[in-house]
Amino acid sequence: METAPYRKIIHVDMDAFFASVEQRDNPDLRGKPVAVGGSRERGVVAAASYEARQYGVRSAMSSLVAIRKCPHLIFVKPRFEVYKAVSAQIRAIFAQYTDLIEPLSLDEAYLDVTERTNADLTATQIAQAIKERIREETQLTASAGVSYNKFLAKLASDYRKPDGLFVIKPHQGLAFVEQLTVGQFHGVGRVTAEKMNQLGIFTGLDLRQQTEAFLIRHFGKVGHHYYSIARAIDDRPVTANRVRKSVGSENTFAHDLTEEPELLAGLEPLIDDVWAYCERTGVYGRTVTIKVKYADFQQITRSRTALTILNTRSALHHVSTDLLTTVLPLPKPVRLLGVSISNLDTVTTSANGQLALDL
């Protein structure tokens, strides 16, 4: 029996996207530590330049802590409309190479280029061409990872940031994973990594030596996932152009969140992602759902259905933030937030300028 050919997946991740856009547009900020976000007492860093990261400043950090770490940190107010416009430029570049594009957020996406490669054009060459086009057209840098599944492609894109390109070939996958610390695995947060360490699991090799039953017993259903990725297995397809019953965006944070300002800051780009889809497609919804996954992987959702279509970003923002307040105060740290809308309808603008449903 013939084995199925390996897929060719690229993960493209913009380097310090929000902060890099600000440094591009304001030469005075170049080479300086920059934080996008609010500098007030309850402000939160939404993004940090690489210069700021050298001082330990990171996204979702409170502004007060960031200033203590880097007293000369420069705060810049977010310009989400600009970031969305640049993101659209980047996605147009992706579309020149494949139709199978799965955006994860404004600044990263998976691309399946299996059908576009041949003896004369490799996935690595496509990734390099995309990086060059992004630099030429936006004056920004991106890092790219190339591999045979999504898990490894994302690991690869992180491996040589910024402006990196790293390839993990099929015969290298297992060895690459086994030498990583579990904290380097995408989706394994600090609390989970500490729990693994307490169980004697420090590396990918340690994780691979555990039985699936052991991992499920200690980590619940996500133990299935850990069992697979420890073996460099990830069968998830790159999914594009799906018929949607809902539209959502979520993010697993590099560090667990514990404070309300951090949560609200983490919610903003998710709302932006969902609203960008609504504006681009003319599809809007009535039901808003937020998802909260805690550090111990317990997950809860909160939903609310409006009487009419939510046809403004402010309406979506109001319902989303209101739902978030229902889970406060937090019983434990949060590793993932998600926002989605459902009960979708297509909305167009009528001759008198009002929004009308397409029936």
Model pLDDT, residue 84: 86
In a domain, 236, yes or no: no
Q: Domain ends where: 43, 58, 80?
A: 80
Distance separating alpha carbons of residues 177 and 174, to the nearest angstrom? 5
Q: Looking at this protein, which amino acid is placed at residue 171?
A: H
Distance CA 18, CA 24 (A): 10
User: Do 112 and 41 share a domain, yes or no?
Assistant: no
pLDDT of residue 251: 86
Annotated binding site for Mg(2+): 13, 107
Assess whether 226 and 212 both reside in one domain: yes
Enclosing domain of residue 216? 183-230
d(CA 162, CA 140): 11
Distance set, CA 138 to CA 165, 214, 225, 315 (Å): 18, 48, 37, 32
pLDDT at 148: 96
Domain identity same for 107 and 143:
yes
At residue 355, the pLDDT reads 40
Q: Is residue 356 part of a domain?
A: no
**Per-residue confidence (pLDDT) for residue 284, from 0 to 100:** 85
- Phi then psi dihedrals of residue 203, to 5 deg: -130, 170
Residues placed in the known binding site: 13, 107
Which CATH number is 147's domain given?
3.30.70.270
- Are 44 and 91 members of one domain? no
What's the CATH number where 71 sits? 3.40.1170.60
> What's the pLDDT at 4?
58
Does one domain contain both 285 and 208? no
Residues 265 and 329 in one domain: yes
The reply to whether 123 falls in a domain is: yes
Which of 59, 71, 68, 64 shows the shortest CA–CA distance to 35?
59
| Cut 0.75: pTM above it | no
> Based on the domain organization, do 162 and 223 belong to the same domain?
no
Residues 6 or more apart from 29 whose CB is under 8 A from it?
22, 23, 49, 74, 76
Whether 357 maps to a domain, the answer reads no
Catalogue the active-site residues. 108
Residue 354 in domain: no
What amino acid occupies position 65?
Answer: V
- Check residue 224 and give its pLDDT: 92
- Starting at the edge strand that comes first in sequence, how are the strands of the sheet with 74-76 ordered? 45-48, 34-37, 74-76
Q: In this structure, what CATH number is given to the domain that contains residue 298?
A: 3.30.1490.100
pLDDT attached to residue 352: 38
Enumerate the β-bridge partners of residue 74. 34
Those residues of the chain that have pLDDT short of 50 are 1-2, 242-243, 348-359
Residue 33 maps to a domain: yes
Q: Which of 39, 60, 80 is the last residue of a domain?
A: 80
Domain boundary among 36, 62, 80: 80
Q: Are residues 116 and 33 in the same domain?
A: no
Q: How many domains are there within the chain? A: 4
Q: Is residue 316 part of a domain?
A: yes
Residue at 215 is within a domain:
yes
* DSSP H helices in 95-221: 123-138, 150-159, 173-178, 190-198, 204-208, 212-219
250 and 342 belong to one structural domain: yes
111 lies in the same domain as 200: no
